[in-house]
């Protein structure tokens, strides 16, 4: 039996594949390479000394997915494939709805056709919208404030309806908080195309000299130092959350939303100062006005993951930033170097 990993050559997918290979899982990756490279496959082999089956396929293409399920004995799917840039989703919303929503529906149709009804889905803390107060828990109302967030919320709602319609489905909707860090080998990590939108890749590129300075979006929030607070989680802890979710899928009835975060908040300036200490590099920054759509403080109540999945994040901020820095300094041009 094999696991199908959509988006498995991407940032979170590749780290999850490494953890699954350690458990001798048979893995098929389906990815259209729109935001990743096949170099990742060599790096995964270097880390684990094991190989995966890679199929270049688009989740929007029913026939390609159907062929994968025809030709392989797939028991469950981890569905990472998707577009993820909030700003870009405002510019090209139709691409986001097509890729993330229509593509997901196509995948679920093919799964249903082949009677594969075990799924772990990459959702996001973005579904908590802007009106809930942290710590955020799974019982809180959901909403979306941009097309990217809409796509995550729509797919969650599709999955709730699907599970209601057919009790054979077991679905874990993992709501990630802010994934950062990299594998401690320094061989895989995150390398966004173009100028990064997210804090950690931006800071890392300032430290390595690719970008001149960081803009800190607002220092007048009601937080420890006025800058935005987020729940940063090490990507390997997040990967291990997927392993646990897969192992517990049989105990999950219907569609279960599960926060994957540490439960701790860290401010932008705390990140900058820790990065500076660990890298020994200067991180010049200027304070600029708040970014539209940002809220002051976001962190998880992770008790459902602790209790239901028997999962807890164990890597602290020092480890997250040490691993980010190792990856960035060893691979200043990402997988191109």
| Residues at the interface with ligand UFG (CB under 6 A) | 84, 86, 124-126, 176-178, 197-199, 202, 214-217, 228, 230, 268, 291, 294
Site string for ligand NAD, 245-284 (x = CB under 6 A): ----------------------------------------
Which has the closest alpha carbon to 272: 196, 233, 325?
Answer: 325
The Cα 162–Cα 148 span in angstroms is 21
Which has the closest alpha carbon to 260: 207, 303, 220, 221?
Answer: 303
Site string for ligand NAD, 40-59 (x = CB under 6 A): ------------------xx
The nearest distance, CB 246 to ligand NAD, in angstroms, is 16
Q: How many Cβ atoms sit within 10 Å of the Cβ of residue 337?
A: 9
Of 96, 128, 148, 232, the catalytic one is: 148
Q: Is 9 in the site for ligand NAD (CB under 6 A)?
A: yes
Task: Specify the DSSP class assigned to residue 28.
Answer: E
Among positions 54, 69, 169, 176, the unique one binding ligand NAD when judged by CB under 6 A: 176
Closer to ligand NAD by CB, 97 or 226: give it: 97
Q: Which helix (H) or strand (E) holds 103?
A: helix 103-113
Q: Is 12 in the site for ligand NAD (CB under 6 A)?
A: yes
Q: Is 148 annotated as catalytic? A: yes
Among positions 25, 36, 227, 322, the unique one binding ligand NAD when judged by CB under 6 A: 36
Ordered strands of the 2-6 beta sheet? 53-56, 26-31, 2-6, 74-79, 118-124, 170-176, 254-260
Q: Is 82 in the site for ligand NAD (CB under 6 A)?
A: yes
The nearest distance, CB 173 to ligand NAD, in angstroms, is 11
Are 225 and 270 a contacting pair, CB within 8 Å?
yes
Closer to ligand UFG by CB, 21 or 125: give it: 125
Are 73 and 2 a contacting pair, CB within 8 Å?
yes
DSSP codes joined into one string, 195-235: S--SHHHHHHHHHTTSSS-EEEE-S-SSSSSSS-EE-EEEH
Closer to ligand UFG by CB, 96 or 176: give it: 176
Report the length, in residues, of the chain.
Answer: 337
Where along the sequence are the contacts to ligand NAD (CB under 6 A)? 6-7, 9-13, 31-36, 58-60, 80-84, 99, 103, 122, 124, 176, 179
Residues recognised as catalytic: 148
């Amino acid at each position: 039996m094999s696991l199908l990993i959509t988006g498995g050559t991407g940032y979170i997918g590749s780290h999850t594949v490494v953890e699954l290979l350690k458990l001798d899982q048979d893995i098929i990756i389906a990815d259209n390479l729109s935001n990743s490279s096949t170099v990742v496959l060599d790096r995964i082999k270097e880390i684990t000394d094991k190989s995966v089956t890679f199929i270049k396929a688009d989740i929007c293409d029913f026939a390609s997915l159907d062929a994968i399920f025809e030709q392989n004995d797939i028991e469950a799917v981890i569905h990472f494939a998707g577009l993820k840039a909030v700003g870009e989703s405002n510019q090209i919303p139709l691409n986001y709805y097509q890729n993330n929503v229509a593509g997901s529906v196509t995948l679920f149709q093919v799964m249903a056709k082949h009677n594969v009804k075990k799924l772990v889905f990459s959702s996001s803390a973005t579904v908590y919208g802007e009106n809930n107060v942290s710590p955020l828990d799974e019982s809180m109302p959901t909403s979306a404030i941009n097309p990217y967030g809409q796509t995550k919320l729509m797919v969650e709602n599709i999955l709730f309806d699907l599970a209601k319609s057919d009790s054979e489905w077991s679905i874990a909707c993992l709501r990630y908080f802010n994934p950062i860090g990299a594998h401690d080998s320094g061989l895989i990590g995150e390398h966004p195309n173009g100028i990064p939108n997210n804090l950690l890749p931006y800071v890392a590129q300032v430290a390595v000299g690719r970008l001149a300075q960081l803009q800190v979006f607002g220092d007048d929030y009601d937080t420890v130092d006025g800058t935005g607070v987020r729940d940063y989680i090490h990507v390997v802890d997040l990967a291990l959350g997927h392993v646990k979710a897969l192992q517990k899928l049989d105990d999950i009835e219907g569609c279960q939303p599960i926060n994957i975060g540490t439960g701790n908040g860290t401010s932008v300036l705390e990140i900058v100062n820790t990065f500076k200490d660990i890298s020994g590099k200067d991180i010049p920054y200027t304070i600029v006005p708040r970014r539209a759509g940002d809220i002051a403080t976001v962190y998880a109540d992770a008790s459902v993951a602790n209790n239901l999945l028997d999962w807890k994040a164990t890597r602290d901020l020092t480890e997250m930033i040490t691993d980010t820095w190792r990856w960035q300094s060893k691979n200043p041009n990402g997988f191109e170097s």
